[in-house]
Amino acid sequence: MKKSDKLLLSAFFVFIPLTLFIGGRLPGRGYYITAAALIAELSVPLFASFKKGKPQARELAVLALMCLICIIGRVAIPVPNFKAAFALIMLTGISFGGSAGYIVGAITAFVSNFFYGQGAYVPWQMMAYGAGGMLSGFAFYNGKIPKKPWILALFGFVGVVFFIGPLLDCSHMFLSMPQTGLKSFAASFISGFPVNVSQGVCTAVIMLVFGKPIIEKLDRFKLKYGILEPENGI
């Protein structure tokens, strides 16, 4: 396991929950501070994954374009709870590795919420969206799982319904329920289940149709320019 991955895991399990916990106590528009702190924390493992420890301009440019595409994938589809953003974030994670997927997901959630309205849930959404990218980055870590369309679709569906969805439900439990515990988590999970399933179906469809071409495209960039390689070789 590489150093950047260790940093990423420690960020996911220790620092981000801590930030969310402290940030939840900030009054008023404190969630902007929490969101900025999240992005700052996430950029540490990302920068550690670069070759010289510093981002080159082209790597930042590619990540910025991926963020833009993910935001379009969320905003341009007018159907509620049926967005392509999850699939695109996961594909970024699959090709460029977990830390890149995490930061793309977090920035996508933050920026696209300017279209849907910012609120106290924004840091939670950033955490959950990014976690989707991280999960896919780790799952397809060294190419042992073949990147076939139907495997991607299955992975997308399961990942959204049983990983990203519950994380988003967590935010609902912590923000708007009177008490936190297993029972209230079950309640928010069950009430969020149909939404998760519809998002998961959308993710599976996008993965099935566009998964392979997009991965081929991104892999070509890794090969051509030697950027953002999660592994030694591809």
Partner 1 sequence: MGFENCHPLVNFIYFAVMLYATVNFRHPVFLAISFLCAFAYSIKRNGKKALVFNLALLPPIVAFALYYSSYTHFGVTVLAENFIGNSITLESLVYGAVLAVSFGGVIMWLSCLYSVFSADKIIYLFGKISPKAAMLLSILLRMAPRIKNGAERLNTAQCSIGRGVNCGGVIFRLKNCIRIFSALVTQTLDSLISVSESMQSRGSTLRGRKAFSVYRFDNRDRAYVICMFSLITLTAMGGTA
Residues lying near partner 1 in the complex (CB under 8 A):
56-58, 60-62, 64-65, 69, 213, 217, 220-221, 225, 227
**Closest-CA residue to 90 (of 69, 121, 76, 120):** 69
Cα separation values, 23 from 5, 176, 227, Å? 25, 15, 34
Rounded to the nearest whole angstrom, what is the least distance from the CB of residue 14 to partner 1 in the complex?
A: 29
Least distance CB 12 / partner 1 (angstroms): 27
**Nearer CB in complex with partner 1: 127/202:** 202
CB 107 to partner 1: min, Å:
13
- CB 57 → partner 1: shortest distance, Å? 4
Name the residue nearer to partner 1 (CB basis): 53 or 178: 53
For residue 217, the minimal CB distance to partner 1 (Å) is 6
Neighbours of 91 (CB within 10 A): 32
For residues 138 and 50, the answer to whether their CB atoms sit within 8 Å is no
Is residue 92 within 8 A of residue 218, CB to CB? The reply is: yes
Compute the distance between CA of residue 40 and CA of residue 106 in angstroms, rounded to an integer. Answer: 11
Q: Which is nearer to partner 1, 170 or 227 (CB)?
A: 227
Nearer to partner 1, 62 or 135 (CB): 62
Output the smallest distance, CB 120 to partner 1, in A: 17
Task: Name the minimum Å distance from CB 63 to partner 1.
Answer: 11
Q: Report the residue number, 14 or 76, with the smaller CB distance to partner 1.
A: 76
Q: Is residue 208 classed exposed, middle or buried when 0-12, 13-18 and 19+ CB atoms within 10 A define those classes?
A: middle
CA distance 140 to 149: 13
User: Is-contact 92 21, C-beta < 8 A?
Assistant: no
Residue 232 CA to its chain's centroid (Å): 23
Judged by CB, which is closer to partner 1: 14, or 65? 65
Tokens of 97: 């590795």
For 181, the enclosing helix (H) or strand (E) is: none
Both structure tokens of 202: 């959308």
Nearer to partner 1, 62 or 106 (CB): 62
